[in-house]
Homo-oligomer: A and B are copies of this chain.
């Protein structure tokens, strides 16, 4: 939190209430969450913010690298409080997102192997069927991101 405030200032940005509140919410919740889930958490915990402010803060914080955004497909992007760089596995059946640790742990962990420009990040999305869904084969198509 103080740490994040310092990182913001070091980047020439201000340590504002929404930015700190969103950071703290993601840290408290743990795991992967949509902007709306963050918003709901804040409302429930006495720190209501406009939805727009949550979006703004998430954009700033991901640019700063304090939170990580995973683009897991159509629908809402999910965010998480990020200590180290890592990747994600998305279950095709239940939609659950889980972390896949990155061997390198820093960005960029892969290079493009061809000259496209300056690469500063390589995000990997693994897709397939998770353990739970492999066990309970057949049902539960319409899952959600689990808290």
**Residues in A lying within 8 Å of B, measured CB to CB:** 11-13, 60, 63-65, 69, 71-74, 77, 87, 89, 91, 98, 100-101, 103, 107-108, 110, 112-131, 133-134, 141-147
Contacts and interface: CB of A to CB of B under 8 A. Distances in A.
Nearest to A143: B11
Shortest 5 CB-CB contacts between residues of A and residues of B = A11-B143, A117-B130, A119-B128, A121-B127, A89-B116
Given A100-B112, A119-B128, 7 more contacts: A11-B142, A12-B143, A63-B143, A64-B144, A100-B113, A119-B127, A121-B127
A34 B91 CA distance: 24
B128 A65 contact: no
A116 B98 contact: yes
A125 B90 CA distance: 15
Given A63-B141, A117-B89, A124 B110 contact: yes
A116 B141 contact: no
A63 B65 CA distance: 33
Nearest to A112: B100
Contact of A133 (B13, B87, B117, B128): B117
